[in-house]
Amino acid sequence: MIKFLKFIPAQLTFFLIVGIIFGNYFTIQPIQLIAVFGSLILLFTTVYFYAIKQFQTPFIFPALAFLLSFFIGFGAITFKNQLNSKKHYSKQLQFSTNEPVSALIIIESILKSTNYYNKYEAEVFELNGKKTIGKILVNIKKDSTISQLQVDDYLAVKMVFNPIAEPLNPYGFSYKKYLRLQQIHHQIYGDNSQFLRLPKRNQTVKGIAANIRGKINVALIQYRFKNDELAVVNALLLGQRQHLTSELQQSYIGAGAIHILAISGLHIGIILLILTAAFKPLHYFKHGKMTATALIIIILWMYAIIAGLSASVVRAVAMFTAIAFGMYVNRQSNVYRNLVISMFFLLLFNPYYLFEVGFQLSYLAVFSIVWIQPKLYNLWKPKFWILDKLWQLLTVSSAAQMGVLPLSLYYFHQFPGLFFVSNLVIIPFLGIILTVGIVIMALAVLQIAPQFLVDAYIFVIQQMNKFIEWIAHQEYFIIQQISMSFLLMMALYALMFFGLKWTEKKVFYRFGLVLIAIVLLQTVFIFEKYKRQITNEFIVFNESKSSTVGKRNGNMIQFFTSSDTLKRDANFKIAYLVGAKLDEILPSEKIKNLYSFNNETILIVDSLGLYKFTSVKPTMIILRQSPKINLERLLEHLNPKIIIADGTNYKSYLKDWEQICVKNKTPFHNTLQKGAFVLNK
């Protein structure tokens, strides 16, 4: 491990990552970056030739190399960010007018649809007659009478480009942040009649790959693949998970087996083994080994293209390309080095990979398997072959889970307790499932697949799905709603790292580092607990069907809702409880008309429209369920500090109320636009 940390590419990759992180949060003009690059390269070259002449390496040489790597990372994300280009379509938009604009777009990928919309990712290559660049999210109302759009479809549209909205409730999932990392900043909504299909231009690589996947799916459907079985095959073999139902996907997540449905290092490694065995006879010919290696690498990248060049596929194929090359030159492959070299070049190609959850989990899992699994395996040496293989699988799965656990809790807030069961049962047969699946796809396209083999394969997929669903339904073993902050996650990783280093060599200074990590972990716990205890809030949540307010006092919160069921498991409530790390929840109650909080008297005016009380003088007004009131008269009578309108009000009412408040110089908060209203003490 220490030797790996001294590996120069590892050090350069570290500073590249630091540069990417800084470049994501801070901006420098491209011309200034070019000037910095030029100066650093000139200085680096001067020092390099000086070192050659003096036969020694001055201290400034590695410092300059690391600084250069830092600015390469900074520059990579700066130049990759399309918003920095003058050609980006956003430079042509006038959002203040909120008027439709004319645009030409091309569909780049098909996304998972919702209940009401088919969703696509598209490139805007012309806006108001000017050539542009930039991605946009396209939402088209579902219509069973009209076929879905395909990759490379050209469309003419005239509609409003809407910015992606922020989450409307505290600690909600930020779809805006997620799409920003995909370089998507706006979206359009419409029905099919608003999209004019134009004749297709030249096909792109993605378009050709989509056509191949389409033909494979047509062939599979002819051989009686349908519903969940077809969706799993698409995910397992073609890297397309948008066809999975939410229930099936959640089952794989709950069983800790979702990685099986994402083409990753496991899948590509199995394919590499198959190809290596298939091309082994070529080694007996002159230049046969080189030819076999070239063919293997070409086939791997062709497979990556067919699978849609997703981030997980690209990084896995890049990693195993390095392994295949290492096998060709007869060098024992060092997984640490392959990891860091593939990471370096992938981040140079697309620095936004760094912020993808899959990228982070994938590299952490592989790193953990390589480092932690041997330590776990050495705890017990089974004498029987079958026990030894099962123990290997269990330690590999456990090592991967240990490595990704803090990060998984930080992102997903749950832990699948039976992950080892699903992995022990499925992974031993995954190679056979992949191999037979690829053969069946090829034979199905050629229309020569034996139906008995197809039926047997469908049966296996059905049983795998049923087994996963059974595991996921053992809810007692799925630990959910776990709060994990970024600081706590980093403290846990520090403790794990130093703890494992101490087990390798039990010396005093390493034990001291373990103690420091424990103190750091305790400090984070104490700090976060203190922060929770001093926080008091009154929250007006954004909901469309019912009204909900929350009153928080330190670690305790109570919800007041107009819903008849008084449900506690609404998504926005769970998100708030997990995000705020609250320990106690008081029983929910029916929403009231009057609240007192932090010297503020809060009046809720509902559909009855009652607000004239002689005994109270409210300072804040909440409007819900579209009360038919004269707001100007209310403002004159009560003179509140602010008017808050939740999501249960008619949009036409909200627009009128906002104009009245502007006219009367009274602050107006519309939760449908600005999100939940939070009053802090």
pLDDT in tens, 58-101: 667 778 888 888 989 998 999 899 988 889 998 888 654 578 88
> What's the whole-number mean pLDDT along residues 650-659?
92
Per-residue pLDDT tens over the stretch 171-183: 988 889 989 988 9
Q: Which two tokens stand for residue 553?
A: 């006092």
Distance CA 138, CA 106 (A): 10
Joined tokens for residue 570: 């609404």
Mean pLDDT confidence for 458-478: 86
User: Nearest-CA neighbor of 421 among 378, 373, 477?
Assistant: 477
Q: Which residue has the tokens 């047969």?
A: 429
pLDDT tens-digit map of 143-169: 877 878 888 899 999 988 988 888 999
Alpha helices in 181-310 (DSSP H): 205-222, 227-238, 246-254, 265-278, 288-306
Q: What is the pLDDT of residue 9?
A: 78
Q: Tell me what the mean pLDDT of segment 353-382 comes to.
A: 85
pTM: 0.83
Q: What is the pLDDT of residues 264-313, one digit of tens each?
A: 777 787 788 888 888 888 878 877 888 888 888 888 888 888 887 777 78
pLDDT at 506: 85
Say if residue 55's pLDDT is above 70.
no
Confidence tier at 667 by pLDDT (50, 70, 90): very high
CB-CB contact of 612 with 592 (8 Å): no
Mean pLDDT, the chain, as a whole number? 85
Q: Which two tokens stand for residue 170?
A: 């505290």
Q: Which residue has the higher pLDDT, 601 or 382?
A: 601
Looking at residue 22, its pLDDT comes to 92
pLDDT of res. 330: 57
* 3-state DSSP assignment of residue 206: helix
Long-range contacts of 588-592 (CB under 8 A, 24+ apart): 588/558, 588/559, 588/560, 588/561, 589/558, 589/559, 589/560, 590/560, 590/561, 590/562, 590/566, 591/547, 591/548, 591/549, 591/560, 591/561, 591/562, 592/560
Q: Which residue has the tokens 């240990």?
A: 402
Percent of the chain with pLDDT over 90: 27
Give the residue-averaged pLDDT of 408-417. 84
Residue range 270-284, pLDDT digits in tens: 788 888 888 888 878
210, pLDDT greater than 90: no
Quick one: pLDDT band at residue 131, thresholds 50, 70, 90? very high
Given a cut of 70, whether residue 329 has pLDDT beyond it is no
pLDDT at 155 (0 to 100): 92
What pLDDT, on a 0 to 100 scale, did the predictor assign at position 333?
52
- Residue 496: pLDDT band (50, 70, 90) is very high
DSSP state of 113: P
pLDDT band for 482, please (50, 70, 90 cuts): confident
Position 94 scores a pLDDT of: 63
Average pLDDT over residues 436-465: 90
